[in-house]
Amino acid sequence: MSQHTPNALTEIFKRDHDLITRLKTEDAHYARLADEYHEVNRAVHRHESEAETVSDDHAEELKKKRLKLLDEITQIVDRARAAA
């Protein structure tokens, strides 16, 4: 399995790299969401790359959770971007 995990926040928010780095250190809520997102995203990637087998239902639950977390993170990044 490669070291690259698709859908990483640094990949999704390339133009906001400095902003998400700052949020990670200054906003505890964002940091918690980002950590949870990375954990779920890695689990989805392990499943999709067939490194780990999970049921289809569990895989769908993980994908929905990842999307919900990404929605919350995007709202925070958008607000921080607008405030900058």
Which amino acid is it at 57? D
Residue-wise pLDDT for 25-55, tens only, equals: 999 999 999 999 999 999 999 999 888 888 9
More confident residue, 40 or 4: 40
The percentage of residues in the chain with a pLDDT greater than 70, rounded to a whole number, is: 95
